[in-house]
Structure 1
């Protein structure tokens, strides 16, 4: 496992700097270092135990999503907790499918940053892609890294 050092994009940082405490979820397009919200954040307070209503699944089921940017754009997701891993129905497996259904181009790169400090290993991140299958997602989850903001 390595440490990913993340640029402190002020648009994103301003939106997510309380995510180590707050149960919430948001995603941004990154296009030429510019961050653009895909939709408003989903507050997950009280939803943690309701399968299918986790903020990451609710976020991608919204109707008003910004879905098209240049082919070079990719998506960053910020959430408090690592997406749940229940076989097939877990958020880590469902979100790539929900993104595809929302009209995001299949194969678009996605980086997920989880803000809760899961000591002793810290905060985690991993890469996936829109439309990833169950088997592809299992492969992506074998390459989880710790991350931190660039000072």
Structure 2
């Protein structure tokens, strides 16, 4: 049986590395889908979620979890990220970073929504093909540029095995 590991990888990383008081932090979840990541985070004591997704149907599913204080619809890239700048303690996105999903430029928007010292956790699948390989290279280049400009500091870079 195949399982979708990406949400668990992201939440496990936060479980080990998040230093704050979980019950008080503000979390922005991009590409929130049905709310699986928020469910996993809630099991670890996180409580305050804002979700963004491009699909109204997925937002309706996320709303059923009862975990989100706010849910917003937006297509990442073509539309501005509907979130305040510099207010979220944790910004998390699982599965949205690939060719045909969200442009690489979105990572800057995600980082801008995090407060100074906040965490941005991005997990992308091990997609195959020329378009995904090009996206991965562009993403690595963008993240390095952001690091060079002190816009962010990576805590962990890990490739799937």
Report the TM-score, using the length of structure 1 for normalisation.
0.34
Query: Which has the higher Rg, Structure 1 or Structure 2?
Result: 2
Q: Select the structure that is richer in helix.
A: 2
Q: Select the structure that is richer in strand.
A: 1
Structure number with higher relative contact order (C-alpha < 8 Å, ≥ 6 residues apart)? 1
